[in-house]
Amino acid sequence: MGWSFPDPEACHAWGKGLGETLTIPAVIFLEGDLGVGKTTLAQGVLRGFGVPGRVKSPTYTLIESYATAHGPALHLDLYRLSDGEELEFLGIRDYLDEAALWLIEWPERGVGFLPEPDLRLRLSIASPGHHRLEVLLATARAASWLPFPPAGEEHDG
Ligand X SMILES: Nc1ncnc2c1ncn2[C@@H]1O[C@H](COP(=O)(O)OP(=O)(O)O)[C@@H](O)[C@H]1O
Residue ranges that bind ligand X, judged by CB under 6 A: 5, 7-8, 11, 32, 34-40, 105, 129-131
Q: Which of residues 37-76 bind Mg ion (CB under 5 A)?
A: 38-39
Give 80 or 93: the residue with its C-beta nearer to ligand X: 80
- Residue 5 binds what, of Mg ion, ligand X, none (CB under 5 to 8 Å, by partner type)? ligand X
Shortest spacing between CB 45 and ligand X, in angstroms = 12
How many CA within 13 A on the CB side of residue 16?
11
Kindly state the smallest distance separating residue 78's Cβ from ligand X, in Å. Answer: 12
Q: Which of the ranges 17-25, 67-75, 84-92, 98-106 carries the binding residues for Mg ion, by CB under 5 A?
A: 98-106
Between 34 and 111, CB nearer to ligand X: 34
Residue 111 has, within 13 A of its CA and on its CB side, a CA count of 2
In terms of CB distance, is 8 or 72 closer to ligand X? 8
Give 80 or 93: the residue with its C-beta nearer to Mg ion: 80
HEC profile of the chain: CEEEECCHHHHHHHHHHHHHHCCCCEEEEEECCCCCCHHHHHHHHHHHHCCCCCCCCCCCCCEEEEEECCEEEEEEEHHHCCCCCHHHHCCCHHHHCCCCEEEEECHHHHCCCCCCCCEEEEEEEEECCEEEEEEEECCHHHHHHCCCCCCHHHCCC
Q: Output the smallest distance, CB 132 to ligand X, in A.
A: 9
Summarize as ranges the residues that interact with Mg ion (CB under 5 A): 38-39, 105
